[in-house]
Structure 1
């Protein structure tokens, strides 16, 4: 199953194929019948590659590819408008060790919906290539890694700024008390 280049876009329903990149953002093509081309702005749009998505598990995280494989083996999917208990029962069959508290019904619906979108596409039966992917896919992966590092660095700077504020506050307080005493 080749999910390389297939992304979910924050704020947009459905799935998209990553075609390329320009100065403004990523060029995407919807996987539905309309084949609508969209440019996703790099600064305010989040893309999640289906290849990298995992589901919370009790011991280890479960890859989306593995869930799709089990859904294919099962052959049928429940209606997306079905009751939550029906979805949960089905999901326990296709992802047996998922964490019931962290995986919500909306997540299950989204995964089943994604499966229904891509099950008839030719890439669904292809093997995943060992090559790193297109330039846009490699760039997306690099930017995600850089953003994660930047967030960790910003978190570290914020905690050190709080620490410096804490040390400077008592000094000011001490100088104020000495003025009152004089």
Structure 2
């Protein structure tokens, strides 16, 4: 799963694809309706790539990409508007080590909504590019 260019924006629903940068900030394209483009200023708006997002775990934090991967292989994923019990039970199956006191129903709904947005994208089925430590050290 290669989700590097996908970001969540604080205060905006849905997900966005980072398509560029200009002097005003980052240029984003909405994944809900791929015709909507906007520019956000990183000084005033918080962006988080899906690869960097974690979920509270009972011991360690859980990577969102791992949870999405388990959702992909799970089979049927409920709709984000399903009742809270259904969503919580589903999340127990795909993220059994999550901290149920700190992961709220709204968090689960958001993750399930994101899954439904990205499941049809080609990026979702691509393998993430491995990071070459030597190349990273050389600045390549």
- Using structure 2 for the length normalisation, give the TM-score: 0.89
1:29 to partner: Cα distance: 0.9
Q: CA RMSD in A?
A: 1.3
Alpha-carbon distance in 1 for matches of 2:67, 2:111: 9
Cross-structure match for 2:63: 63
Which protein has the bigger strand share? Answer: 2
- Matching of residue 30 in structure 1 with residue 30 in structure 2: yes
Q: Give 3-state SS (helix, strand or coil) of 1:92's partner.
A: helix
- Matching of residue 73 in structure 1 with residue 73 in structure 2: yes
Cross-structure match for 1:117: 117
1:38-78 deviation per Cα after TM superposition (whole angstroms, max 9, x unaligned)? 10112211101100001111111111111111111112111
Cross-structure match for 1:98: 98
Question: Larger radius of gyration, structure 1 or 2?
Answer: 1
Alpha-carbon distance in 2 for matches of 1:33, 1:9: 15
Structure of greater relative contact order (alpha carbons < 8 Å, 6+ residues apart) = 2
Cross-structure match for 2:48: 48
1:138-161 deviation per Cα after TM superposition (whole angstroms, max 9, x unaligned)? xxxxxxxxxxxxxxxxxxxxxxxx
1:91 to partner: Cα distance: 0.3
Which protein has the bigger helix share? Answer: 1
For these two proteins, the number of residue pairs brought into alignment is 132
Q: Give ranges in structure 2 of 5+ residues lacking alignment.
A: 133-140
Contact 1:24 1:42 in 2 (8 A): no
Alpha-carbon distance in 1 for matches of 2:106, 2:28: 24
Cross-structure match for 1:160: none
Q: Give 3-state SS (helix, strand or coil) of 1:79's partner.
A: coil
Contact 2:18 2:29 in 1 (8 A): yes
Cross-structure match for 1:154: none
- Matching of residue 84 in structure 1 with residue 55 in structure 2: no
- Using structure 1 for the length normalisation, give the TM-score: 0.69
Q: Give 3-state SS (helix, strand or coil) of 2:67's partner.
A: helix
